[in-house]
Structure 1
Amino acid sequence: MLTAALVALALASVPRPFTVDDLLALERAGDAAVSPDGASVAYTVATSSAGGEKLVSALHLVPAAGGAARRLTFGEERVTSPAFSPDGRRIAFLSNRKGGTQAWVLDLQGGEARRVTDLPGGVSELRFTPDGAALVVASDVDPACGADAACNRKADAAAEVRPHLTDRLLFRHWNEWRERVRTHLVRVPLDGGPAVDLTPGDRDAPPVQRGSGDDLAFSPDGKTLYYVAVSDPVEATSTNGDVYAVPLAGGTPRRVTTAPGWDGSPRPSPDGKRLAWLAQPRAGYEADRFHVMVAAADGSGARDLTAGFDRSAADLEWARGGKALRFTAESEGVHAVYEVDLAGKVTELYRGRNLARVSWSRDGARLAALVDGLAAPPEVAVLEPGARGPQPRLLTGFGAKGLTGVALGEVRPLAATGKDGQALHGWMVLPPGHRDGQRHPAVVLVHGGPQGAWNDAWSFRWNPMLYAARGWTVVLPNPRGSTGFGQAYTDAVRGNWGGTPYDDIMRLTDAAVATGAADGDRMCAAGASYGGYMVNWINGQTDRFRCLVAHAGNFDLRMAYYDTEELWFPEWELGRPWEASEAFERWSPSAFVGRWRTPTLISHGEKDFRVTVTQGFAAFTALQRRGVPSRLMVFPDEGHWVLKPRNAKVFHDEVLGWIGRWLESPAPQASAPR
């Protein structure tokens, strides 16, 4: 009896493998926001609803010095975007607790939250005005109605009984039709007065295709709102976003910046005499390097403070009373925080854990953020860059709570050399309990973008720990096109989609095999978006993989140009098909179907307007007619990503099952084409 109890106790102490259910059960921290004085941090926590149909979330508040968190909302709702009032006594947030997403305000001294907007188009961004008397929100409106709620409801009702009609491009975006409505900024008085459309007209201001709440700011005197809008007439082909200024009381907008690329994140200095912003110099290029610019408040005399700094800036804020600016940047697979003074001297203040949803205190001395890693789910933390011990101070412990008794893989950096001598970067995740000298089946995961990167960051979509838990070595390559390794490294994918990036992936895969931890005879590859494209490309270039998984991947680049909505992307990367037919043909996986032999799982969302589902249908048809073992998985209610927890469960189970089937069986042989 005692022996059995001891055995049971010993077994209970042995860490168990990480599972899909573990991933989906984790509480998800989100939307960290620090109070103006830096003393408190608001954040959201999301969990799966009972049926897995959606994520539900609640708002929490925690002292920045650490301590017990206080839950502020309790409904079956989705809460996002917390924002403190200027005096720190109230929090505004977005909630769908009564249908469409609207803005709510909660007094931190007590009482219930009250809804302060009732806009038919919902609300997607919000900011308190400097006097705390109103909110400026982003809402979808009929341009003929502006902020008139009754007019918008009538227009919405009329649109329900007609087909989609449009006479302009960007008539749909991501997973929604937008042929009729525009996103405008609306000032909503908290005393119940009439709402005012601050950006009227037949264009999106702010843009739906790029930008966020970071692109809204107020002058210190509270009289002016700075925002971003696309200046070119055809939004689907342009990345020319400029900073505009409009009187907060309403009036005629004034264009502040005039550069050909994207200008965003406007930041008036504390004294209101200067304006800083982030700028991409090149027109049409969404992944160009963001430079830190500073000028007079009217935009005149602009200077580039980071001209010689080869990293892309984000999360901009003034610091040291207006003597410097602070920002974050990806750098070689991790995140860093920098300060640049007005003479252009850049100083690194912090390098380490991945930072997301960054929020600065009013003086720029403290930031709140989500911090995570490949082996660490997101936690809410504060960081005081440059202070003693400048490491994030965790305020939550969701990972420790949700992963107790769970074994995670070991993360190691991976290096290789490109055919041109370029140093290449990646990561390996080794199975739990790995010992040097052990060789495991391997899975190569290709990131999307292509201008993206495998950073030391957690993922709820493509989580390498799930693959490592199956006893597989996971290879995470950062080929040319990846971000965080200098702009030339990022630029190198242009016009070269299946060339150097493919070769880089193969070289990093070879490097993983050379370590002895990856079995070169038992490998599969998987990826999504550009990663899905690359998987389709791999099928026509090499037989080294036993199986492939392509989610939301392009198959025929010529048709993909005509299918997608953000046309500036293919036009920058490859050109226009009628002018650059050779490039579209050269890098299109469809041109190499005659070589396809590798068993492939094709996955897609039916509501995906970025890479349309017909691309997935076409790839599956090619596989079937070639006689290649293949499977098609289509989610009718998903777009470019698989977001609903119940769908994510199916997705992960199918992908892991498919890979396991081929890694654990003899090498497959394709049958003859049918």
Structure 2
Amino acid sequence: MTSTADTPAPTPATPFHDLDAFTALPRVSGLTLSPDGTRLVTTVATRDAKGTGYASALWEVDPAGERPAHRLTRSREGEAGAQFAADGTLYFTSARPDPADAEAEKRSALWALPARGGEARVLLSRPGGVASVACASAADRVVVTADRLLGASTEAEHAALAKARKDAGVDAILHTGYPVRFWDHDLGPARPELFVLEEGVDPQGEPASDADAADPESTPQSGHDDGAAGSASTAASASTPASSSATTAASGLAPEADDVPHHLRHVSGFPRSHAFGVGAQVSPNGSFLLTTAATAEARGNVREGTIVRVDLATGEHRVLHDVPGEDAHVGPVSHDGSRAVVVRTPDSTPHAAAHPRLYVMDTATGETTPLAHDWDRWADVVAWLPDDSAVIALADSDGRRPVFRIDVATGEVAQVTAEDEAWSDVVLAPDGATAYGVRSSYLFPPEVARIDLATGDVVRLPNPVERPVVPGTLEDVETTAEDGTRVRGWLVLPEGQAPAGGHPLLLWIHGGPLGSWNAWSWRWTPWIMAARGYAVLLPDPALSTGYGQEFIERGWGRWGQAPYTDLMALTDAVVARDDVDAERTAAMGGSFGGYMANWVAGHTDRFKAVVTHASLWALDGFGPTTDAAFYWAREMDEEMQEANSPHRFVGDIVSPVLVIHGDKDYRVPIGEGLRLWSELLAKSGRPAAADGTTDHRFLYFPHENHWILAPQHAKVWYEVVLGFLGEHVLGEGAPTAPQTLGLTAPDPA
């Protein structure tokens, strides 16, 4: 007889049957192509050794599809933001320590992997780190984005101020404008700035690292500080690239080009707000960049509408586009440098939805001409064809996100890809005949694939990660709403024969609200539910993108009307199926989806349970406290907020509700979750009993934000949600809380 200890644990049918296996699945994202078209590099994130985070590494994928993918980098801290330069150098950011400096602090630094191979080396480390890098495709020009303290005009001053704050233990921020935070982080006292990366010691004395780059002839051969007292601008010189140059020279080895020091030359000295970061579209020849500058206006309004051209040789800047009452974002620059694609969006109002449209801008004059205005989609242009006759774009469309080709002269739009998938990070081969990108759908997570732009044929390349097996099938479903509008979505069904009476149904409402269920989500994964026997409905109600402007307008400022009735209409259509059980249903959603879950709970008792994550509850309080109050003011006026606020219907909530919120959520502040929880217990149609017991639950994450990102917390999230649904939908009885919540006794030794 075999003992229990000798019996191997059963292998789960798929990773979605086991939450540890699911959180351990590697995750592919991002893509960059070398200018000669021979090298593709993507990023793969894997769970760290402690299981409390993810670390990413760079992997190379063969564009020809003949060789297996292979790993390029390896570190505990991980690598991100890979970009190829014109000479084939691969730049990236990483917080890994510099192997040449045993005293170096861990922070995001700029690294380079030579085109000819060899070890990666740190080029630049500075207080506040390096955020991103952008490279000219046909010239030796590298642009870096990094935060600089507002009181500093040089890198030396920035380093001194950063040291003063650190030494004093001060993290306070004094604001003079709005906004003050974004998603999950505070804004200020530094703001993102644009720099050009240059070789050599800065002639103005700005440091390449925490301090000035040392003169190679005077740097100690040991590579360490000699302990002599010095100013903030000369301390820590051993951490600069100049140290390794000096060491190499002193050793008698032939110096290498990679050993020269680097510094940053500031080029974004134009007026702008510190809101929301700063990006750059670098011209192919590296002579200039275009960037969008956010500007602060009266009463806390912020407008991202100023497009600035910066001469990268001189730093001279010139405003090309600045139209009051609209936002504008700049896209890629044509190969000849004469044009760029921009997206112009007039400010929305409570009575008119946002409507972004494409234009082609003259990069010398700023003049814009419409592009494909007859096409009723919201598009992002990702590249120009080599002859600049057309651009490649991505756009949500009917529950997918295909690749499109737009003729610049005529505005004619042709869809390139036709499968049920969503594309991102699309890059073009030098000949313009082939594109590469990251694609996904609800059948498979992101993976790298090749597109034939002439035929639309797609080939999956040998990836770093294999596709996981999903436990079920995916169907396209639709119905007609009460106003005659077509409403569609995806239906996930568990594998195998449906039980008698049908599968229990989970209505899962997407966030945004300007978005669509079209791409794989690691955060919102219906297959975990399907593995437990649930059918999952992923609807695209009014306000969803990919169905035309009128579909968005139907729900604009009227969140509780068409979006709600669309959800109920599609739910009615699905529960009418023989393989779905109309008596065992639940509703859930996050962000706007959480708002809709709250609205649903107050307007129908059809659902056995409701799960609401990071949700809006009382709109009058949400508006002034969200991180972008100015945008919310364009969405609803006070009358609309009152009419559409879920909190007014708390007395009608009879379904048990699971509230989930992270304290670091600045988009939907924690106050929304706290008020919802308080009012559920005191005022709902299912209030707490006299002894304080309740069927409602509140899952609170003190250190998570709008999303639950840490793998151990994602596991708890699903465990609590599944237990709550199991109790109220499946009738499984009160669940046992995960031991990691500290509410149950530990297993006996």
TM superposition score normalised by structure 1: 0.90
Partner of 2:591: 529
Which of 395, 411, 431 is the equivalent residue of 1:329? Answer: 395
Asked if 1:449 corresponds to 2:456, the answer is no
Paired residues of 1:142 and 1:182 also in contact (CA < 8 A): yes
Distance 1:195 1:287 in 2: 42
Measured against aligned partners, the alpha-carbon deviations of 1:133-186 in whole angstroms (never above 9, x if no partner) come to 452111111123145145344246337426332221111111111142211111
Asked if 1:507 corresponds to 2:569, the answer is yes
Q: Secondary structure at the match of 2:495?
A: coil
Asked if 1:109 corresponds to 2:111, the answer is no
Partner of 2:339: 274
C-alpha deviation, 1:283, in angstroms: 5.3
Paired residues of 1:33 and 1:368 also in contact (CA < 8 A): no
Which structure 2 residues correspond to residues 118-129 of structure 1 after superposition, within 5 A?
118-129=125-136
Asked if 1:265 corresponds to 2:320, the answer is no
Partner of 2:33: 34
C-alpha deviation, 1:97, in angstroms: 1.2
Distance 1:372 1:660 in 2: 30
Paired residues of 2:124 and 2:262 also in contact (CA < 8 A): no
Distance 2:187 2:731 in 1: 48
Partner of 1:671: none
Which of 180, 183, 198 is the equivalent residue of 2:267? Answer: 198
Q: Secondary structure at the match of 1:661?
A: helix
Between stretches 226-235 and 608-617, larger displacement belongs to: 226-235
Which structure 2 residues correspond to residues 153-168 of structure 1 after superposition, within 5 A?
153-155=160-162, 157-158=164-165, 160-161=169-170, 163-168=172-177
Distance 2:33 2:299 in 1: 34
Which of 652, 665, 668 is the equivalent residue of 1:611? Answer: 668
C-alpha deviation, 1:200, in angstroms: 2.3
Which structure 2 residues correspond to residues 185-334 of structure 1 after superposition, within 5 A?
185-191=194-200, 192-200=261-269, 203-204=272-273, 208=276, 215-233=279-297, 237-259=301-323, 260-282=325-347, 288-334=354-400
Paired residues of 2:332 and 2:381 also in contact (CA < 8 A): no
Asked if 1:602 corresponds to 2:664, the answer is no
Between stretches 601-610 and 62-71, larger displacement belongs to: 62-71
Between stretches 295-304 and 229-238, larger displacement belongs to: 229-238
Partner of 2:415: 348
C-alpha deviation, 1:623, in angstroms: 1.7
Measured against aligned partners, the alpha-carbon deviations of 1:168-222 in whole angstroms (never above 9, x if no partner) come to 11111111111422111111214435422211256357x526x7xxx52223442
C-alpha deviation, 1:235, in angstroms: 10
Structure 2 residue identity aligned to 1:618: R
Distance 1:360 1:279 in 2: 25
Asked if 1:414 corresponds to 2:477, the answer is yes
Paired residues of 2:68 and 2:463 also in contact (CA < 8 A): no
C-alpha deviation, 1:363, in angstroms: 5.1
Relative distance call for 1:255 and 1:544 in structure 2 (3 A) is same
Asked if 1:25 corresponds to 2:24, the answer is yes
Paired residues of 1:382 and 1:395 also in contact (CA < 8 A): no
Distance 1:448 1:524 in 2: 17
Distance 1:181 1:68 in 2: 43
Paired residues of 2:109 and 2:125 also in contact (CA < 8 A): yes
Asked if 1:383 corresponds to 2:451, the answer is yes
Between stretches 253-262 and 485-494, larger displacement belongs to: 253-262
Paired residues of 2:398 and 2:546 also in contact (CA < 8 A): yes
Q: Secondary structure at the match of 1:80?
A: strand
C-alpha deviation, 1:436, in angstroms: 9.8
Distance 1:595 1:458 in 2: 35
Relative distance call for 1:426 and 1:91 in structure 2 (3 A) is same
Between stretches 620-629 and 180-189, larger displacement belongs to: 620-629
Paired residues of 2:138 and 2:285 also in contact (CA < 8 A): no
Structure 2 residue identity aligned to 1:612: P
Measured against aligned partners, the alpha-carbon deviations of 1:352-394 in whole angstroms (never above 9, x if no partner) come to 221122233355443322211112121122223223x522433
Measured against aligned partners, the alpha-carbon deviations of 1:327-353 in whole angstroms (never above 9, x if no partner) come to 111110112222222122222222222
C-alpha deviation, 1:317, in angstroms: 1.4
Relative distance call for 1:502 and 1:14 in structure 2 (3 A) is closer
C-alpha deviation, 1:652, in angstroms: 1.1
Relative distance call for 1:220 and 1:90 in structure 2 (3 A) is closer
Paired residues of 2:334 and 2:384 also in contact (CA < 8 A): yes
Paired residues of 2:69 and 2:464 also in contact (CA < 8 A): no
Relative distance call for 1:471 and 1:149 in structure 2 (3 A) is farther
Paired residues of 2:436 and 2:450 also in contact (CA < 8 A): yes
Which of 432, 436, 439 is the equivalent residue of 1:368? Answer: 436
Asked if 1:590 corresponds to 2:652, the answer is no
Between stretches 353-362 and 49-58, larger displacement belongs to: 353-362
Paired residues of 1:275 and 1:299 also in contact (CA < 8 A): no
Measured against aligned partners, the alpha-carbon deviations of 1:448-481 in whole angstroms (never above 9, x if no partner) come to 01111111x2111110111111111111111000
Partner of 2:208: none
Asked if 1:659 corresponds to 2:721, the answer is no
Paired residues of 1:315 and 1:358 also in contact (CA < 8 A): no
Which structure 2 residues correspond to residues 422-437 of structure 1 after superposition, within 5 A?
422-435=485-498
Partner of 1:4: none
Paired residues of 1:227 and 1:266 also in contact (CA < 8 A): no
Relative distance call for 1:379 and 1:567 in structure 2 (3 A) is same
Relative distance call for 1:12 and 1:172 in structure 2 (3 A) is closer
C-alpha deviation, 1:319, in angstroms: 0.8
Paired residues of 2:199 and 2:262 also in contact (CA < 8 A): yes
Distance 2:349 2:427 in 1: 29
Rg comparison, structure with higher value: 2
C-alpha deviation, 1:13, in angstroms: 11
Paired residues of 2:150 and 2:190 also in contact (CA < 8 A): yes
Partner of 2:426: 358
C-alpha deviation, 1:282, in angstroms: 4.0
Distance 1:144 1:327 in 2: 40
Between stretches 135-144 and 459-468, larger displacement belongs to: 135-144
Distance 2:349 2:163 in 1: 33
Partner of 1:473: 535
Distance 2:30 2:331 in 1: 20
Partner of 2:632: 570
Alignment identity in percent? 32
Q: Secondary structure at the match of 2:326?
A: coil
Partner of 1:86: 86
Measured against aligned partners, the alpha-carbon deviations of 1:398-426 in whole angstroms (never above 9, x if no partner) come to 243xx3xx552210011011111000011
Relative distance call for 1:193 and 1:431 in structure 2 (3 A) is closer
- Structure 2: tracts of 5 or more residues without a match: 2-6, 98-105, 201-260, 689-693, 735-749
TM superposition score normalised by structure 2: 0.81
Q: Secondary structure at the match of 1:533?
A: helix
Distance 1:234 1:122 in 2: 32
C-alpha deviation, 1:584, in angstroms: 1.5
Structure 2 residue identity aligned to 1:377: P
Distance 2:724 2:184 in 1: 27
C-alpha deviation, 1:397, in angstroms: 6.0
Distance 2:485 2:507 in 1: 21
Distance 1:572 1:198 in 2: 33
Aligned length: 644
C-alpha deviation, 1:254, in angstroms: 1.1
Measured against aligned partners, the alpha-carbon deviations of 1:50-89 in whole angstroms (never above 9, x if no partner) come to 22221111111122011122211111122111101113x2
C-alpha deviation, 1:131, in angstroms: 6.6
Paired residues of 1:146 and 1:200 also in contact (CA < 8 A): no
Relative distance call for 1:652 and 1:163 in structure 2 (3 A) is same
Relative distance call for 1:266 and 1:472 in structure 2 (3 A) is closer
Paired residues of 2:405 and 2:413 also in contact (CA < 8 A): yes
Relative distance call for 1:621 and 1:363 in structure 2 (3 A) is farther
Q: Secondary structure at the match of 1:614?
A: helix
Q: Secondary structure at the match of 2:387?
A: helix
